[in-house]
Amino acid sequence: MKINYKSSEGFTFIEVMLAVVIITITSMGLMYGVVHARSELRALEIKERATEELANYMEHWKGRIASGNLSTGDKTGDYTGEEIYLIGDAHSDKSVTAKLYYSMDELDSQYNDPNYESYHLKVWIRWHNFMNTPESAAHQNQLKEHERILETVMLVYKV
């Protein structure tokens, strides 16, 4: 009986290990991309939610000005902030809080027209920590304070 020692069909151990290394590196790159894309989408979601809350807050104060139902305290503004939740709530493990502020200045009419009052209304929102991660140097971008501002000048005609 004669045994033929020609090269056999198939892969060698080194070829298989090289393929495993290449697949591992590619998978790590894909996972990094997926995690990065997910964090960017979450940051965008929070920014959009903050903008919605800010627009609602602006409409609230525009309505109060238009109704003429303002106290002296209302006209001084709120620089301590009203805390809200952009994501989650007080009992949630993963929540993102923000603070809403406003300032209101009654403007002197340029033409001293007694038919209307004018107000400069500024509302802004500030929030921290997109990802709710512990503070570390690796997460500085997520931990910095973010802010959105809306301003308007409103005329209220006296009838």
Residue owning tokens 């997109």: 130
Cross-strand partners of 118: 107, 155
Expressed as residue numbers, the domain containing 125 is 13-157
Is residue 150 in a domain?
A: yes
Give dist(CA 112, CA 41) in Å, integer: 50
Is residue 147 in a domain?
A: yes
pLDDT of the chain, 159 residues: tens digit per residue: 666 666 667 788 999 999 999 999 999 999 999 999 998 898 899 999 999 999 999 999 999 988 888 888 888 889 999 999 998 888 888 888 999 999 998 887 665 677 788 889 999 999 986 554 444 445 555 567 889 999 999 888 877
DSSP for residue 15: H
Is residue 42 in a domain?
A: yes
Is residue 63 in a domain?
A: yes
Is residue 118 in a domain?
A: yes
Is residue 4 in a domain?
A: no
Give dist(CA 76, CA 83) in Å, integer: 18
Chain-centroid distance, C-alpha 101? 16
Is residue 116 in a domain?
A: yes
The number of helices, as runs of H, and strands, as runs of E, in the chain is: 3, 4
pTM of full prediction above 0.95: no
Give dist(CA 145, CA 64) in Å, integer: 29
What is the number of structural domains in the chain? 1
Is residue 8 in a domain?
A: no
